[in-house]
Amino acid sequence: MTLRISTAGLYAQGLQGMLRQQQQVARTQQELVSNKKLLHGADDPAAMAQSQRLDHALSSLEQNGKNADTVEHRLRSQESALTDVGSQLDRARELALQANNGALSQADRKSIADELRSIRLEVLSIANRDDGTGRRLFAGSRDGVVPFADNGGSVGYVGDDGRNLVEIAPDLLLADTDAGSDVFMRVRTGDGTVRGSAASGNTGTGVLQTSTVIDHAAWSGGTLRVEFTAADAYQVVDAGGAVLSSGSYAPGDSISAGGVQLTLTGAPASGDAFTVERAPTQDIFATLQNLADALDAPVASPGDQARQSNAVGMALGNLATAQDHMLALRAGTGTRLASLDGAADSRSSGEISLSESLSQLRDVDYAEAASRLALQLTALDAAQKTMLRVQTMSLFDRM
């Protein structure tokens, strides 16, 4: 059987071959220009899907990095704010120590009280500080609110107790700033464990110097009250009124009962009382306000002097505990900043691994692509020469 190929068929076949070669050359050239070997989903559907997943993972890591930058900025702003509050409390404690001097005049005490109120306003300003983008540092998870407001000497908090949890690396969440309620409103008083206080109706000159737990096993955590039945005699009762101990008193004596100990100076009057209780929380603004108010009170008798000394002594303990509180918050902030460094290392390792995998899937091997292009150009050139040769062939050439 004789195979016959028409001239038109021969031309069409040659043209199709050249077009295929040109398409291959064009694709290889596009790969070299774009540095991408996955140009269309149809080229390799599985590889294209995998590359899209890797792209999404890289984008997530990039967003994690931006989140970490924001958290770091807010944490460093918080650290600066806490440092500023600590400086203000240092000054307030210096003033309280200065005020705890019976030789001061009423004018001197008023001057100290005025400075304490200025410190209170400065601390309030710090508590309402923002991070430079309009977001308040200490509003909890509420944005767009001024968290603290002074209402006639009493500061209220309108933020919440939440903290924004931000993803800074895959499956790693970090809280940014602390809620203002934890920073400023719920601060332990006394020594952080117990607080001693003099009854407001005391008429003697007894001054509470120290109150502390000396035996945690013996102390139930309840309130104890030292009641003076005479100027030189006392009894210690619990919250239910049961007498735990009694004894005689001389100025400077320590009184121990139920695992706690108090040291007093001066001469309490019959009916005077001193209380030791589990240290309650109090906002730092009230601590400063109470101290200023105590210094403003007139001192016209030894009893007035004792009341003022007790108030100043309590404020000194509260301020010392507040300073420790701020230091603990700064330590926590530093720990979170250190976590950011670890997260940055994790993101960097992840980005390198994902980028390498994505490059293997999608990026062109220039050496291989250049060699392939050279081969394709040679094949195209051969196809073109063959076509030209075929075009010159004719039966009349054989006659």
204 in the same domain as 147: no
Q: Is residue 6 part of a domain?
A: no
Q: Per residue in 10-23, pLDDT tens?
A: 566 666 666 676 66
**What is each CA distance from 391 to 7, 219, 379, 383, in whole angstroms?**
9, 112, 18, 12
Q: What is the arithmetic mean of pLDDT over 61-74?
A: 91
Q: Please tell me the distance from the alpha carbon of residue 230 to that of residue 61, in angstroms, as a whole number.
A: 73
Q: Per residue in 38-64, pLDDT tens?
A: 555 556 666 666 767 877 778 888 889
Q: Is residue 30 part of a domain?
A: no
> In whole numbers, what is the pLDDT of the chain averaged over residues?
85
- Collapsing DSSP to helix, strand or coil, 150 comes out as strand
70 in the same domain as 172: yes
288 in the same domain as 188: yes
Q: How many CB atoms lie within 10 A of CB 141?
A: 14
Q: Which tokens go with 110? A: 């008023």
Q: What is the arithmetic mean of pLDDT over 63-79?
A: 93
174 in the same domain as 119: yes
47 in the same domain as 180: yes
Higher pLDDT, 183 or 31: 183
Q: Per residue in 331-363, pLDDT tens?
A: 999 999 999 988 888 888 877 777 667 666 665
Q: What is the arithmetic mean of pLDDT over 134-143?
A: 91
Q: Is residue 353 part of a domain?
A: yes
**In this model, does residue 382 exceed pLDDT 80?**
no
Q: Is residue 382 part of a domain?
A: no
At 42 the pLDDT is 54
At 143 the pLDDT is 82
Q: Is residue 113 part of a domain?
A: yes
| Lowest mean pLDDT, pick from 133-147, 203-217, 273-287, 349-363 | 349-363
Q: What is the arithmetic mean of pLDDT over 110-123?
A: 96
Percentage of the residues of the chain whose pLDDT score is greater than 90:
58
Helix/strand/coil percent split, the chain, to 5: 55, 20, 25
Are the C-beta atoms of 235 and 225 separated by less than 8 Å?
A: no
Contacts of 62 (CB under 8 A, 6+ apart): none
Contacts of 132 (CB under 8 A, 6+ apart): 73, 77
**What is each CA distance from 43 to 4, 362, 363, in whole angstroms?**
37, 11, 14
210 in the same domain as 143: no
Please tell me the total count of domains within the chain: 2
Are the C-beta atoms of 183 and 138 separated by less than 8 Å?
A: yes
Q: Per residue in 207-222, pLDDT tens?
A: 999 999 999 999 989 9
At 103 the pLDDT is 80
Q: Is residue 83 part of a domain?
A: yes
Q: Per residue in 296-321, pLDDT tens?
A: 999 889 999 999 999 999 999 999 99
Q: Which residue has the tokens 């001057």?
A: 111
At 395 the pLDDT is 52
Q: Is residue 108 part of a domain?
A: yes
Q: Please tell me the distance from the alpha carbon of residue 234 to that of residue 270, in angstroms, as a whole number.
A: 9
Q: Give the predicted TM-score (pTM) of the model.
A: 0.79
Single out the residue in 278, 313, 338 at which a domain terminates: 278
175 in the same domain as 101: yes
| Lowest mean pLDDT, pick from 58-62, 68-72, 138-142 | 58-62
346 in the same domain as 239: no
284 in the same domain as 254: no
At 139 the pLDDT is 94
| Burial classification of residue 80, based on how many CB atoms lie within 10 Å of its CB (0-12 exposed, 13-18 middle, 19 or more buried) | middle
Higher pLDDT, 333 or 392: 333
- How many whole angstroms from its chain centre is CA 24? 57
For residue 104, name the pLDDT band (cuts at 50, 70, 90).
confident
- Domain of residue 97 covers 36-192+280-363
Q: Per residue in 223-252, pLDDT tens?
A: 999 999 999 999 999 988 999 999 999 998
Q: What is the arithmetic mean of pLDDT over 94-104?
A: 87
**What is each CA distance from 367 to 23, 32, 195, 370, 380, in whole angstroms?**
20, 10, 79, 5, 20
**What is each CA distance from 171 to 60, 147, 165, 276, 341, in whole angstroms?**
11, 30, 12, 47, 16
Q: Is residue 200 part of a domain?
A: yes
At 350 the pLDDT is 79
For residue 267, name the pLDDT band (cuts at 50, 70, 90).
very high
Secondary structure E strands in the chain: 148-151, 154-157, 165-169, 172-175, 187-188, 194-198, 207-213, 224-230, 233-238, 243-248, 254-257, 260-265, 273-278, 281-282
206 in the same domain as 185: no
Single out the residue in 278, 295, 322 at which a domain terminates: 278
Higher pLDDT, 9 or 34: 9
111 in the same domain as 127: yes
- How many whole angstroms from its chain centre is CA 203? 48
263 in the same domain as 209: yes
Give the DSSP H/E element, type plus range, for residue 132. Answer: none
Single out the residue in 278, 302, 325 at which a domain terminates: 278
Q: Please tell me the distance from the alpha carbon of residue 315 to that of residue 197, in angstroms, as a whole number.
A: 10
